[in-house]
Each structure stands twice: as C-alpha cells, then as structure tokens.
Amino acid sequence: MTDASRGRFEATVSGRVQGVGFRWFVLDRATELGLDGWVANAPDGTVVCVAEGERRLLAALETSLRSGPAGSRVDAVRTVWTAPTGRGGGFHIRSLGHGGD
C-alpha cells in the first residue's frame, strides 16, 4: 500500500539555469528538506530534477525551483508527478546529460 503523503516528481527547468549554481541550489534545498533524488544539467540547456519524499516537502522544493538562485532566470518549470519508488539514498548531483532512472 502506498502512503498517500509521499510522492515523486520529475521537473524540467528552463531559462538561464546552467552555469549559475542552479544544481547546487537544488542540492542544498532538497537536502535541507530531507528529500531523495537527483539533479542534473541536460544537453538542451535545461536542468532536470527528480525528487521523492513527503508531498508537502516536494511542493516546497517545486516552489524553490520556480525561483532559483541569484543570477538564474527561470522561464518555465514542467513537473510530472508519479508514484514514489521507495528508493532512498539522499539527494545528489548527477553528471551532464544523465539519462534518468
């Protein structure tokens, strides 16, 4: 049985989001919130973030993605919510163009 208070999303963030510390910003925020997942630069210039945890904490991370760090410009965040996988392991930065999991 899946705990309804938990969720998972994959968000693609577009704008000026590479070369401005965006991944480190996401890593810090997700770690602060106690979420699992990863963030990576994509070859098309976007940043992809996959996060899992309590839905209310995921919503807080999604809000942070929409603002970004100083020096960034977020034009759009496309978020797809899915069922949690239950994988733990903390939150990490993945290499450029990571194919996902």
- Check which CATH number belongs to the domain holding 51 and give it: 3.30.70.100
- The residues, any chain, with a CB within 8 Å of residue 6's CB and separated by 6 or more, are 52, 53, 54, 55, 84
- Residue 38, domain member (yes or no): yes
Q: What is the pLDDT of residue 96?
A: 67
Total domains in the chain come to 1
**Domain contains 92:** no
Gyration radius of the chain's alpha carbons: 13
Mean pLDDT, residues 18-47 taken together: 97
| Catalytic positions, written as ranges | 23, 41
Q: Which domain holds residue 39?
A: 13-84
Quick one: pLDDT band at residue 1, thresholds 50, 70, 90?
very low
